[in-house]
Amino acid sequence: MDKTSEKINWEQLNAALASEETQSLHDLIEDWSFEEIAWAVSRLDEDDRSRFLEKLEPEEAAEILECMSSAQAVALVRNLEAESAASIVQQLPSNAQADLLGEMNATDAEAILESFSPVEAAALRILSAYSDEEAGGLMITEYLSYSDHMTVSMVVDDLRGNADQYRDMQVQYAFVVDARNTLQGVLRLRDLLLAKPSVQIRALMISNPLTVNDHTSLDELRQFFDDHDFLAVPVLSGESKLIGLVTRANLQTALADRHEGDYRKSQGLVQEELRSMPLMLRSRRRLSWLSINIVLNIVAASVIAVYQDTLSQVIALAVFLPIISDMSGCTGNQAVAVSMRELSLGLVRPSELMRVFLKEASVGLINGTALGLLISVVAYLYQGNGWLGMVVGLAMATNSMIAVTLGGMLPLLMKRLQVDPALASGPILTTVTDMCGFFIMLSLATAFLPYLI
Amino acid sequence: MDKTSEKINWEQLNAALASEETQSLHDLIEDWSFEEIAWAVSRLDEDDRSRFLEKLEPEEAAEILECMSSAQAVALVRNLEAESAASIVQQLPSNAQADLLGEMNATDAEAILESFSPVEAAALRILSAYSDEEAGGLMITEYLSYSDHMTVSMVVDDLRGNADQYRDMQVQYAFVVDARNTLQGVLRLRDLLLAKPSVQIRALMISNPLTVNDHTSLDELRQFFDDHDFLAVPVLSGESKLIGLVTRANLQTALADRHEGDYRKSQGLVQEELRSMPLMLRSRRRLSWLSINIVLNIVAASVIAVYQDTLSQVIALAVFLPIISDMSGCTGNQAVAVSMRELSLGLVRPSELMRVFLKEASVGLINGTALGLLISVVAYLYQGNGWLGMVVGLAMATNSMIAVTLGGMLPLLMKRLQVDPALASGPILTTVTDMCGFFIMLSLATAFLPYLI
């Protein structure tokens, strides 16, 4: 990795960016990989980033955009002149175009769409309206399709004649359609090798191919590719017209994005953040979630205020309040993570609350007891009072059980309520378990107050 | 989804499993998808799971194993008779075999390896020794290779003659090797369409193809597939022999696993847990991380014990201790998540601590000030004491800044120390920021004690 930092001569780079001509930049980055270029671009200020892209050929600029995260790419394209932006976007594959336009605001997107032909623009508007969670949002629209009355030799002639253009397509299948663009079958290109030139491709094609439709969800697609050993699946619109295809690699990328997004959201980052973004945007995105959390925290801590009298008489309890709070977060979030995983593998359904409750209650009983015993010994040693140990230990054990069962069930409940479980489970969990934990410990302490003083 | 629960008749299923013959099970599951079968299997007890798999054809059982997570698959195979296990494992593709054997203990793995031919077993032992984080652990060894002096017609004859066998292979390339299995070039199968039968394939192949070696890391592979629009890349051993290929889909799966693993580990699950696993195993896996955390929590809370005198005089402070602790966790973990993402995208290098420090310090200043102001107003309203507001607000602001900068830098530091950042960042962060937070608030309170009473 560090070869790049050595390789980059920032003075030369700045000079090349400041210069009127483009050759010096081309010479400089000639032997950089696209990823090295992307890294260097992220280290420039906004104006220099635009200048950098505008000095490249649109094809090169598009390649660089493709190895960035979409948040980065959107920010970059938005800062370009509409004309340069359009010429770069035109070089991207259709699914990348749609993603990019989908994440831009309407005005910016329209400015770019104007550079496309009306037909292309209409197609892109449709594509960018699909969410990332359905087949329409994942599919690529670069595919080969042939009319069902064509012969092997006609197809081979077309392949030969357009070899250069087709070489960039990663697909090894062609689709066979009728005059109304209804899918008739799938043709493996390599099967053309084995056939006589005069045969009609409809005799060679795999008929009644399996398909998905544009609203097929990510989970259903995962199930499809788990069940079938295919590289790609055709996507049909509502009216059974062929509109694109989803490859296994498209799906894997989308699943990787979702996993990454779940982790990010569980830490309170609703949208992707990269440190090359403007400071105020980064602060604001984080602060929105933090302000909800601090309010929830204040609500939870208000339970402590209710028991101020008990606390003032047994001040040692104050030492254990943050421990109860932190540990219930830890135990509960483990159960959240297990449920998130089982949901994504299809091993648990949102309706199976009872099963999860029983499975988690048993783990909660064992681990709660273990943690409770440990903390009760510590509390006893701290003040030499066995009753204090009992109160703290009992509160820890009970609250761990609550946290574990609640943590396991929350993602299922969120899913049923159509709330994103990655985003909402954590804050709800910690608020509820903090309140329970404070309440259990302080009400137990109040009940046994004479023995604690 | 719920169609499956309706579809499954558990009584019939139990009867089919108890019966001596296999036909009734086959009839029952005839129109279930592999994923539905996997779900049903996870709902059976251990013995019935084994019985289920043993009643299927090895090919079918292998398909089902392939749509399970590896933790599930290992548990299932381990409980089978060695003989059935071996016949099922033989039906898996080579990378799945190696993964499975790599995750089993040595005795179980050897029992299965004995059923393979000595040559196959030796190859599998080598494969299963590779980690999931390098090309050797991802590659598949099912590929086509032809000697460099063969002609197009010889290759086409071979393809035609073995069409059934090759149809299962997802690869659209063949490799051209010399007599010593050194890679000479890559042949696109579809280019065979365009060539004369008598041409030698060495004239048709792409010479000097790009390759990776068996120890190429996941990050380098990601960079490779970002830079090159390939579907697959050949893998060479140390001595430049062709030993396999990594497809884009293999890589995407491995990246999705890594993202999932990072999220899981950040919640304290060192190994994958599924609720179909034995209770004690699940408890133990979670408890190991919880016990470390509770000890760290006790260490952090001991700071509170030092200030017991101050606390007993200003009992209101006890309400704010858990808030300080929770919020520093929230703010810090956001920065951890951003750093994890930037590390995985290659946008930050472990050596760039200073850059991260500056970028995070500015966010920390803004968000810390905002959170500090909010909590100081709450503290003032609670007790009507402006000095309490100041002490609590100042502690919150300072500690948020510390948490954010530390959270941003920790994953980079962990990476430099070769510790897994997903696993270690969280516990270290919360311990350090809890201690700092308690110390700052309570020492400020001690300094301003006369104004707080």
Domain regions of chain A by residue span: 2-129, 144-248, 279-452
B302 contacts on A by Cβ (under 8 Å) = 319
- End-to-end Cα, chain A, rounded Å: 62
Element (H, E) at B185: strand B183-188
Residue numbers of B between 94 and 123 with CB closer than 8 Å to A:
none
B363 contacts on A by Cβ (under 8 Å) = 279, 282-283, 286
pLDDT higher than threshold 60 for residue B81: yes
Confidence band of B107 (pLDDT split at 50, 70, 90): confident
The interface predicted TM-score (ipTM) is 0.80
pLDDT higher than threshold 60 for residue B47: yes
Confidence band of B211 (pLDDT split at 50, 70, 90): very high
Same fold, B2-129 and B279-452: no
What pLDDT, on a 0 to 100 scale, did the predictor assign at position A219? 85
Strands A173-177 and A144-147: parallel
A378 contacts on B by Cβ (under 8 Å) = 298
- The tens digit of pLDDT for each residue in A348-358 reads 889 999 999 99
What pLDDT, on a 0 to 100 scale, did the predictor assign at position A347? 83
Contact state of B298 with A325 under an 8 Å Cβ cutoff: no
pTM: 0.81
Residues B214/B135, Cβ–Cβ less than 8 Å? yes
Q: Is A380 on the interface with B (CB under 8 A)?
A: no
What pLDDT, on a 0 to 100 scale, did the predictor assign at position A167? 63
Mutate to test the interface with A, among B8, B35, B220, B327 (most CBs of A within 10 A): B35
CATH class of the domain at A279-452? mainly alpha
Q: Is A10 on the interface with B (CB under 8 A)?
A: no
Mean pLDDT over residues B31-45, rounded? 80
Residues B65/B91, Cβ–Cβ less than 8 Å? no
- The tens digit of pLDDT for each residue in B3-36 reads 445 567 788 888 888 888 888 888 888 878 777 7
What pLDDT, on a 0 to 100 scale, did the predictor assign at position B309? 93
What pLDDT, on a 0 to 100 scale, did the predictor assign at position B2? 44
pLDDT higher than threshold 60 for residue B83: yes
Residues 6+ apart with CB under 8 A from A27: none
CATH no., domain B2-129: 1.25.60.10
- The tens digit of pLDDT for each residue in A234-265 reads 999 877 889 888 988 788 888 888 888 888 88
Q: Is A405 on the interface with B (CB under 8 A)?
A: no
Per cent of chain B over pLDDT 70 is 97
Q: Is A71 on the interface with B (CB under 8 A)?
A: no
From CA A231, how far away is CA A226, in angstroms rounded? 11
Which of A68-82, B348-362, B389-403 shows the lowest per-residue confidence on average (mean pLDDT)?
A68-82
From CA B396, how far away is CA B400, in angstroms rounded? 6
Confidence band of A170 (pLDDT split at 50, 70, 90): low
Contact state of A341 with B264 under an 8 Å Cβ cutoff: yes
Per cent of chain B over pLDDT 90 is 37
- The tens digit of pLDDT for each residue in A444-453 reads 999 999 999 8
Strands B144-147 and B173-177: parallel
**Nearest CB to A294; choose among B291, B347, B371:** B371
Contacts A–B by Cβ distance under 8 A: 325
Mean pLDDT over residues A177-197, rounded? 84
What pLDDT, on a 0 to 100 scale, did the predictor assign at position B400? 96
What pLDDT, on a 0 to 100 scale, did the predictor assign at position A294? 93
What pLDDT, on a 0 to 100 scale, did the predictor assign at position A2? 44
pLDDT higher than threshold 90 for residue A76: no
What pLDDT, on a 0 to 100 scale, did the predictor assign at position A3? 47
Q: Is B348 on the interface with A (CB under 8 A)?
A: yes
Q: Which of B105-114, B261-270, B365-374 has the highest mean pLDDT?
A: B365-374
- The tens digit of pLDDT for each residue in B290-299 reads 999 999 999 9
- The tens digit of pLDDT for each residue in A390-422 reads 999 999 999 999 999 999 999 999 999 988 888
- The tens digit of pLDDT for each residue in B409-418 reads 999 999 999 8
Mutate to test the interface with B, among A29, A44, A267 (most CBs of B within 10 A): A267
Mutate to test the interface with A, among B231, B338, B412, B436 (most CBs of A within 10 A): B338
B376/A247: higher pLDDT = B376
Nearest CA in chain B to A3: B349
Q: Is B259 on the interface with A (CB under 8 A)?
A: yes
B57/B2: higher pLDDT = B57
Q: Is B292 on the interface with A (CB under 8 A)?
A: no
pLDDT higher than threshold 60 for residue A4: no
> Comparing C-alpha atoms, which of A40, A89, A32 is closest to residue A66?
A89
Distances (CA, A) of A283 to A274, B363, B425: 12, 5, 21
- The tens digit of pLDDT for each residue in B254-273 reads 888 888 888 888 888 878 88
B301 contacts on A by Cβ (under 8 Å) = 319-320, 322-323
Which of A8-17, A287-296, A400-409, B156-165 shows the lowest per-residue confidence on average (mean pLDDT)?
B156-165
Provide the shortest C-alpha distance from residue B390 to chain A (in Å): 17
What pLDDT, on a 0 to 100 scale, did the predictor assign at position A402? 97
**CATH fold group of domain B144-247:** CBS-domain (3.10.580)
Look over chain A and give the mean of its residue pLDDT values, rounded to a whole number. Answer: 87
Q: Is A162 on the interface with B (CB under 8 A)?
A: no
Q: Is B140 on the interface with A (CB under 8 A)?
A: no
CA dihedral in degrees (B212, B214, B217, B218; nearest 10)? 80
Residues A12/B206, Cβ–Cβ less than 8 Å? no
**Nearest CB to A259; choose among B260, B321, B362:** B260
Contact state of A35 with B223 under an 8 Å Cβ cutoff: yes
Chain centroid offset of residue B269 CA: 11
User: Which superfamily does CATH assign the domain made up of A144-248 to?
Assistant: CBS-domain (3.10.580.10)
What pLDDT, on a 0 to 100 scale, did the predictor assign at position A5? 52
Confidence band of B1 (pLDDT split at 50, 70, 90): very low
pLDDT higher than threshold 80 for residue A193: no
